[in-house]
Chain A
Amino acid sequence: MKAAKEIKDKHNYLSKNTTFDYVNMFFLVIIGLVTLLPVLQVFSKALSAEGPVVAGKVTFWPIGFQLDTVGYVIGKGEFQDAFLVSVVTTLIGTCCAMFITVTAAYPLSKPALVGRKPLLYLFAFCMLFGAGMVPNYILYRSLGITNTIWALVFPGIFSVSNMFIVKNSFEALPESIEEAALIDGANNITTMVRIILPMSLPVLATMTLFYAVGYWNNYMSGVLYITRANLRPLQQYLYGLVREAMQETDAAGNVKDIDASMNLVGESVRAATIVASTVPILIVYPFLQKYFVKGITIGSVKG
C-alpha cells in the first residue's frame, strides 16, 4: 500500500508543473522571443518609408508602412532570375537527392547484401573526408557543367549522414511485412516502392526538408561554379547586395570606386530583398516542422 502510494506520488511529481517549471518556461520563452527581434527589425525596415529608415528611427515596427520597396525588389529582373534559379535548383535537387538517398539506403539496410560492410565503411569514410575546392572545380569543368544549373544541383546531392538515418529507419521496420510481400511475388523494387516507402513517410518527409533547406540556403556552389549573372542562386545575389554596403577602400582609405559608393543600394532596399528571400521558406517550414523532431530521432532508437 505504501509502496503504491509512493509510486503514485512520484508519478504526480513528474506530471505536475512546479514553480521552477513555470519560471523556467517563462525565461526560455523570453529568450526565444529575443532571438526574433533582429528578424522583426529587418521586416520593419523593409516595410517602412525611406526617411525613417535612414534616420535610424525604425526599431520593431514599420514607420510609414508601404509595400513599394518590396514591390520594387520583386520586380527587379536580377531578383526574379535568382529566385527562379533557387526554386528550380531546390526542386530538381531535392527530387534527385531523395531518389539517390533512398535507393542507396534500401539495399544497405538488407544484411544479405554482398559487400555490405566494406560499402558502409566506404560511405562513412566519404562522410569525413572531402576532396576540396580545386579538384571539385576541375571535375565539374571537365564534365562541362560549370555555368549550368547542374553545377548548383550536384554539390550536396547526396548526404551520407542522411542516407544513414534513412537506412536505420528501414532497418527498424518489421521484417515480416517484407517477407509477406516477397511471398506474394513482389520483387525488390516493388517491395521498396509499395511497402517500405509508404511506411517511412515521416523520415522521408524530414529528409526532403533537410535537402530542400540545404539547397535553398546554398551559397558556395554559386560562388565557385557560376560566373553568369542570370544563373546566380538567391543567396549569392543577396550576399552581394548586402556586402556592397560595406564599401571597399584601398589601403589609403580612398573609396576605390566612387561611382559605386554614389549609387549604393539603400538600407530599406536591402532589407526588402532579405524579406522577399526569406518569406517563401518561412511559409513552407511550419507545415513540415512537425516531421522534423520525429524524423531526426526516428533513425536512432530501434524497435
Chain B
Amino acid sequence: MKKLVSLFLAIALVLSVCSFAVAEEKPTLKVMNMYQTYSFEDQPQHQQLIDMTGYNVEWYMTPSENGTQMVMLQIASGEQYDLLFHQTADLITQLYDAGLLLPLNDLLDQYGDNIKNNPSAAAWKTATAEDGTIFALPSEAFLPQGDASRYGLQQYGIMFNMDLMNELGLELPSTIDEFYAVCKAYTEATGNPAFTAGKGAWEIHSIMPAYGMGTAVWYAAGDKIVHRLNHPGLEAYVAFMQRLYAEGLLDPDMPINSNANAMEKFTTGKALCMVSAFFNYDSVASGFAAAGTNPELLFVPGLTLEEGETPILYRAASVSYHTAIPVTAEHPEDAMKWLNIISQADNNKAIYIGEEGVHYQIIDGGYWPIQPAFGEKLNADKFVGFPSTADMHSQWMARARKTETIGASFAQINEGAENFDIRYVYEGFANGIPAVYENQAAIDTFVGDELLKLIVEGGDVAAALESIREEAKSDYNFDEMQAAMDEWYVEYASIYDWSIAE
C-alpha cells in the first residue's frame, strides 16, 4: 500500500513539474508601427500594453523614406515581423498582390471577437479581396454614425481678431457678402489686406461651403459622381476668390506665404483673419502675447451664400491605416490575440484616454482631460487597436480639449454643430484602386497650381476652367480616373445620403 501511495505521489509530482514546464511564457511579438520621431518603448503605453496583454512587444518602425519599397524588400527577404501595424493602404495592397500576407479569416473567427464588428462594411471592403479573403484590418477615421451627435466635427475655420473687429464695429460674418463687407471695411480703414493664408490656399475650406464645395474631391450628384473640377459651384468660387485678391482683400503674398508668414501678419495685427484650427489657439495666442496684445479669437467654420442657410461641412469617412500579418510571422495567432485584447472597449479606453478621475473627467457628458496627468496619453493614439468608432469620437474630445483655452475654442467652433449640414464623403475607400491612386495626386497638384494662378492673375474663369479640364483629360489621365470612380460609385452610391444640385 505504502509503495502504491508513494508511486502515486511520485507520478503526481512529475506531472505537475511537466505541466509547469509546458505552460510557456507568452512569446515576444515583433510589431512594425508607423514612423514616429519618438521611441515606442519610451511611452507609458508600452508598459501598459504589456501589463494588459501579457505579451512583450519589440517595436519596429516603417522606414521614413520609400517606406513601401523598403518594407516590401524586407518581407520578401524573409525579415520576420508578427504584425504590420498602422501601415498605408498602398503598402498593404502591394504586399497582398505579391502574396506576402496571411489570410485573416480564420484567425478573426477564432481570436478576433472584439475586432470583427467594429469596422464598418465599407471599411472591411477595402481590406477584403474579391474572393472574400480578408487580408488586412482597417483602422477607420472615427465619425459619429446614425443618430449620434455630430458635435466635435468642426475643427478648421477662419480665425478673426476680435479686437480689430470691435474697433471697427464689425460682427462675425455668416454669409459670403458679410465676409466681403467685413474684409473691405478693414482694408479700407487700415490699408492692409484683411485675409491672410499660407501658400497653396486656393481652397479655403470655410468659403467653399457657400458654393456647395468643401474638402471633398468627389461629389455625389444623384447617379453620378463628379470631380471637383466639374462641380457646378467651382466657377463662382474661383470668381469670388479672384475678386478678393484683385481688390487687395486677400494677402497678395498668399502664393508664396509659408504658414509662419501668415501667422506673423496675423499676430502683429497686420491682418484681420487667417485660416487656422482650434488646436492652434494657444500657439496663436502666444504669438499675440509676444506682440503685446491679447485679443479674443473667434472662428467662423463655414460661410453660406444667403442669410439663414445652414453651412455645409464635408467630412471624409476613410480608412486611415491597414494592419496585416505577413507570411514571415512566427506568432500569427498571438498577434491576433494581442490585437483582440487591446480592441476590447474598456481596454481601448484605458489606452486612449486612461482612467476616469486620474487622466480624464466627464463634464456635462463630455470628456475633458486632467492635466498634467493626461500628458502621458500624448502618443497613445498610435497604440490603439480596432475599437468602435463612435466610442473613439467622443473619447477623442478629451485629447482635443488639451487646455482650457483650446477647449473653449473647440466649443466655440462647434457652436450650432447640430444645425450644420454635415455630409460624409467616402472617397477614402477608393484609395486602393490603381487608376485612382496613380492619377489623383498629380491631377490635384495640377489643378491646385492652375487655380491658384487663375485667382492671382484674374481672367475669364469659365474659359480657363474649360482649358484646365481639357488638359487634365489629355495629359493627366482624367478620363481613366473618372471611369474607375464611376465603377466604384455603383457600389457605394447607396451609402451617400446627400447629393449636390446638378
Q: Which residues of A contact B (CB under 8 A)?
A: 49-52, 54-57, 63-64, 77-78, 81, 133-134, 137-138, 141, 146-147, 223-224, 227-230, 236-237, 239-241, 243-244, 250-254, 256-259, 261-263, 265-267
Contact = CB atoms under 8 A, between A and B. Distances in A.
B205 A253 contact: yes
Contact of A223 (B64, B73, B216, B431): B64
Interface string B188-218: 0000000000000001010000000001110
A254 B315 CA distance: 8
Contacts of B38: 78, 229
Given A253-B205, A261-B279, A51 B290 contact: yes
B235 to A, nearest CB: 20
Interface stretch (B1-9, B15-23, B261-269): B261-269
B215 A56 contact: no
A138 B286 contact: no
Contacts of B268: 55-57
Given A146-B79, A223-B63, A252-B427, 13 more contacts: A50-B283, A54-B290, A56-B264, A137-B70, A137-B73, A223-B64, A224-B70, A229-B36, A251-B427, A252-B216, A262-B279, A262-B402, A266-B283
| A-B complex: 5 closest residue pairs judged by Cβ atoms | A56-B264, A51-B290, A229-B39, A55-B287, A54-B287
A262 to B, nearest CB: 4
B177 interface: no
A227 B61 CA distance: 5
A55, A147, A240, A244: most-surrounded residue (chain B CB, <10 A): A55
Given A224-B63, A252-B427, A261 B277 contact: yes
Contacts of B37: 78, 237, 240-241, 244, 265
Nearest to B436: A251
Contact of B263 (A56, A63, A81, A250): A56
Contacts of A259: 381, 396, 399
B77 A254 contact: no
Nearest to A239: B64
Contacts of B155: 258
B463 interface: no
Contact of A263 (B60, B61, B267, B378): B378
A133 B37 CA distance: 24
Nearest to B259: A245
A253 B440 CA distance: 12
12 contacts: A54-B267, A56-B260, A138-B73, A141-B77, A223-B70, A227-B60, A227-B62, A228-B60, A229-B38, A229-B39, A229-B59, A262-B400
B316 interface: yes
B291 interface: yes
A120 to B, nearest CB: 34
Interface string B404-435: 00000000000000000000010110010000
A253 B203 contact: yes
B441 interface: yes
Contacts of A224: 63, 70
Interface string B314-327: 01101010000000
A229 B41 contact: yes
Interface of B: 32, 35-42, 58-66, 70, 73-74, 77-79, 155, 203, 205, 215-217, 260-261, 263-264, 267-268, 277, 279, 283-284, 286-291, 315-316, 318, 320, 378-379, 381, 396, 399-400, 402, 425, 427-428, 431, 440-441, 444
A288 to B, nearest CB: 31
A79 to B, nearest CB: 10
Contacts of A54: 263, 267, 283-284, 286-287, 290
Contacts of A244: 37
Contacts of B320: 256-257
Nearest to A220: B65
Given A50-B286, A78-B39, A252 B261 contact: no
A77, A241, A253: most-surrounded residue (chain B CB, <10 A): A253
B428 A250 contact: yes
Contacts of B440: 251
B42 A267 contact: no
A234 to B, nearest CB: 12
A141 B79 contact: yes
Contacts of B283: 50, 54, 266
A49 to B, nearest CB: 7
A137 to B, nearest CB: 6
Contact of A252 (B39, B215, B277, B399): B215
B287 A251 contact: no
Contact of A262 (B58, B205, B263, B399): B399
A56 B39 contact: no
B64 A252 contact: no
A143 to B, nearest CB: 12
B200 to A, nearest CB: 9
B442 to A, nearest CB: 10
Nearest to A142: B77
Nearest to B88: A256
Given A54-B263, A261-B279, A230 B381 contact: no
Nearest to B283: A54
Contacts of A228: 58-61
A51 B318 CA distance: 36
B381 A252 contact: no
Contacts of A138: 73, 77
Nearest to A249: B215
Contacts of A263: 378-379
Nearest to A76: B38
A262 B287 CA distance: 17
A240 B41 contact: no
A42 B217 CA distance: 38
Contacts of B70: 137, 223-224
Nearest to A137: B73
B316 A81 contact: no
A77, A254, A259: most-surrounded residue (chain B CB, <10 A): A254
A252 B428 contact: yes
A257 B320 CA distance: 8
A207 to B, nearest CB: 29
A175 to B, nearest CB: 50
Contacts of B215: 252-254
Nearest to A56: B264
Contacts of B267: 54-56
A230 B43 CA distance: 13
Nearest to B217: A252
